[in-house]
Structure 1
Amino acid sequence: MRFLHAADLHLDSPLRSVALRDPDLAGRLHDASRQVLARIVDLAIERRVDALLLAGDVFDNGVPDVATRTVLARALGRLGAAGIPTVLIRGNHDGLLDPARYGALGDSVFLLDADRPSVEIGAATIHGTSHSGGPETRSLLPRYPAPVPGRINLGLMHCSPDGTRGHDPYAPCAVSDLLEHGYDYWALGHIHARQEWRGDRALVVMPGIPQGRHIRESRGGSVTLVRIDGEGPQAEELPVGLVGFREVSIDLPGDDTQTARLHRIADGLRGAAEGPTVLRVTLAGPGAQPFAAGAGDARHALSELAAEIGELYLDRVRVAPDLSVPDDAAAGDLVALMRLEAGTAGFREEAARMLSDLRDALPPEARDAIDDDTLEGLMADGLAAVAARLSMARSE
């Protein structure tokens, strides 16, 4: 049998923090989530799968508007007309979803929850449970029935396998427990980066987000095609994302002319683009410092170049600070000591904890403003500011 496994579509995610920086990009990503759903349906029909499996967070909240609900109903209706059923569960984002709001999604759509934990599709029995709106702090596995003898058994679960870092600790579970439960395949959702875990006869897959929404979701953009036969389960990653996310660093020598620098930047942007692409750019080297002279200068210059290349969006543009040590011996020793301290495990752990506390205090839609590389940038900027201030004090 063949199944197409997807999760975390987050249809019509509000993208508030992106919209504040770039309304055009927010609109492009909003449209992309719907277009990716259409691509998933096309793939399911093209590969003639036995069912589409959606492992939670189809919507970004529990009360999608009628337009968003209509997009999903029409897409799954097209699958149903092709003889392909859809089996889904609710995740932590759409846990309060009322399946009857605006009318049922269709006879070919099966929502698994406490009232209906299993459904039979051909030779397979698919099991699942849905989030109910409250926090899930314990494993959901005890709610899943034992495998049905003589049939292919699949489980849909929205969870944090082995307490995955960087996500809310929703429904933590041990991968080893999933592999030993007796199912042939576990279709997971919740973590937005793809992962696989294989046992002797079982396979656990987190497919990743089909369409990333910000730079921290650069590892998304895929769904998983599952084949289960006498040889056991096999999984194939299939790309579906329409807009990619990449980080690029462009080194600018100090002896370049302005024209040469712009050419070098344009080449760097062009080389990083793969279709519609959102870029986070760092300008480094002595030639980058003039771009730091005025607020917004670097972004303005790069926006002009990106517009000429086409289908490039700038997430952020950062000028790497000048970390040169002041000539004054005492000041240089002080900066060197600070740099040494900033590299110690204790300092970094404490700084990371403070940054994590700050991120947790932000609204969920704004948390992507602080990601894994923010700490490095803050520390570098702080050291550069101290070095610059010491140099100024020496010259006064």
Structure 2
Amino acid sequence: MKLLLFADLHLDTRFPSAGPVRRKALRDTLGRIVDLAQETGADAMLCAGDLYEHDRCSPSTAAFLRSSFDCSVPVYLAPGNDDWYGPQSVYQQVDWTPNVHVFSSESLTPVELADGVTLWGAAHLGPGPARDVLDGFAVTRGGVNLALGHGCAPGDVAITGLNHAFLGHVHTPEHAVNYTFPGNPDPLTPGETGERGAVLCTVHEDGSVSREVIDVSASRSLEWLDSETAFPLLDFDSVAAERTVRGQFVRDVLADADLDEAMRGRVLATGLRALEER
């Protein structure tokens, strides 16, 4: 059985590199993930939470998600602490196509992926810190048992009886014997480390999992943009002195201590280009 795993895409993100161009790139990344699931013949697509950000999610993002997941592959979604499940969440508001299953309980609940293969999933039901979704859980079924959730203590996997846990929240990828953190598939902050992308997981008959990381990031194609190539004649200090929207934008970017020089240049370039195109 082949499962395509991703997590922490953060559509409509709050992260420092956010802007119209970056937000579009994140949507394009999800499109690549869905295409990859179909091209590889994956038996299911799994999202381990923080698909979007509840407080920033727009109606157009909700419509985009419904359209994106209207595909030939079963989709299993485990809401995280940023895209938590509740009455006003996209998860409840959207009329999903029949191939989409949203886990809606704080407790791990089972669905059968195939004969002898069970996927247990759980949801966060409100904002706040990510919790240990495996706390107090024990497998009650035979066969191969897998879990999908956002946030946990990986050491718990071994004592639950699970063969493998597919987890979100930790943005640095980690591939262990009995759990996988795929990390965010598209860059969100400067200085990220680790091989990240969508993870094609092959589940073997004995419950062991082998993995292949596939780069799906649409944002990497923006990395050539910097302040010199995109705006060679523009004096950023002069723009920062303007009492305009773009002046405020440049001041905010120049003052952001979380950005290194390379990222600052890319944010300035893509953001100013987007403002020009309005």
State the secondary structure of the residue aligned to 1:10. Answer: coil
User: Residue 216 of structure 1: CA displacement?
Assistant: 3.7
Distance of aligned partners of 1:178 and 1:277 in 2 relative to their CA distance in 1, 3 Å threshold? same
Q: Which residue of 1 aligns with 2:222?
A: 276
Q: Which residue of 2 aligns with 1:252?
A: none
- Alpha carbons 2:105, 2:125 under 8 Å: kept: no
User: Residue 28 of structure 1: CA displacement?
Assistant: 2.0
Distance 2:90 2:61 in 1: 14
* 1:204 is aligned to 2:179: yes
Distance of aligned partners of 1:98 and 1:36 in 2 relative to their CA distance in 1, 3 Å threshold? closer
What is the aligned counterpart of 1:93 among 57, 60, 82? Answer: 82
Distance 2:176 2:169 in 1: 16
Q: TM-score, normalised by structure 1?
A: 0.53
Q: Which amino acid aligns with 1:235?
A: R
- Alpha carbons 2:173, 2:196 under 8 Å: kept: no
- Alpha carbons 2:197, 2:215 under 8 Å: kept: yes
- Alpha carbons 2:81, 2:130 under 8 Å: kept: no
User: Residue 373 of structure 1: CA displacement?
Assistant: 8.3
Q: Which residue of 1 aligns with 2:146?
A: 154
Q: Which amino acid aligns with 1:109?
A: V
* 1:190 is aligned to 2:169: yes
User: Residue 177 of structure 1: CA displacement?
Assistant: 1.8
Q: Which residue of 1 aligns with 2:39?
A: 46
Q: TM-score, normalised by structure 2?
A: 0.74
Bigger mean CA offset, 138-147 vs 127-136: 138-147
Distance 2:132 2:256 in 1: 30
Structure 2 counterparts to residues 107-126 of structure 1, below 5 A: 107-114=98-105, 117-123=109-115, 124-126=117-119
Q: Which residue of 2 aligns with 1:223?
A: 198
Distance 1:68 1:89 in 2: 18
Q: Which residue of 2 aligns with 1:303?
A: 227
Which has a greater percent of helix?
A: 1
Q: Which amino acid aligns with 1:192?
A: H
User: Residue 117 of structure 1: CA displacement?
Assistant: 1.7
Distance of aligned partners of 1:373 and 1:61 in 2 relative to their CA distance in 1, 3 Å threshold? same
Q: Which residue of 2 aligns with 1:69?
A: 62
Distance of aligned partners of 1:219 and 1:137 in 2 relative to their CA distance in 1, 3 Å threshold? closer
Percent identity over the alignment is 28
Q: Which residue of 2 aligns with 1:36?
A: 29
Q: What are the superposed Cα offsets for residues 298-340 of structure 1, whole Å, 9 maximum, x if unpaired? A: xxxx723x3389xxxxxxxxxxxxxxxxxxxxxxxxxxxxxxx
Q: Which residue of 1 aligns with 2:2?
A: 2
Q: Which amino acid aligns with 2:124?
A: H
Q: Which residue of 1 aligns with 2:52?
A: 59
Distance 2:216 2:130 in 1: 32
Using CA pairs under 8 Å that are at least 6 residues apart, name the structure with larger relative contact order, 1 or 2. Answer: 2
Q: Which residue of 2 aligns with 1:355?
A: none
Q: Which residue of 1 aligns with 2:97?
A: 106
Distance 1:230 1:209 in 2: 28
Structure 1 segments (4+ residues) deviating >6 Å = none
- Alpha carbons 1:211, 1:220 under 8 Å: kept: no
Q: Which runs of 5+ in 1 are unaligned?
A: 20-25, 160-171, 245-274, 280-301, 310-365, 375-396
Distance 1:12 1:138 in 2: 23
Distance of aligned partners of 1:303 and 1:90 in 2 relative to their CA distance in 1, 3 Å threshold? same
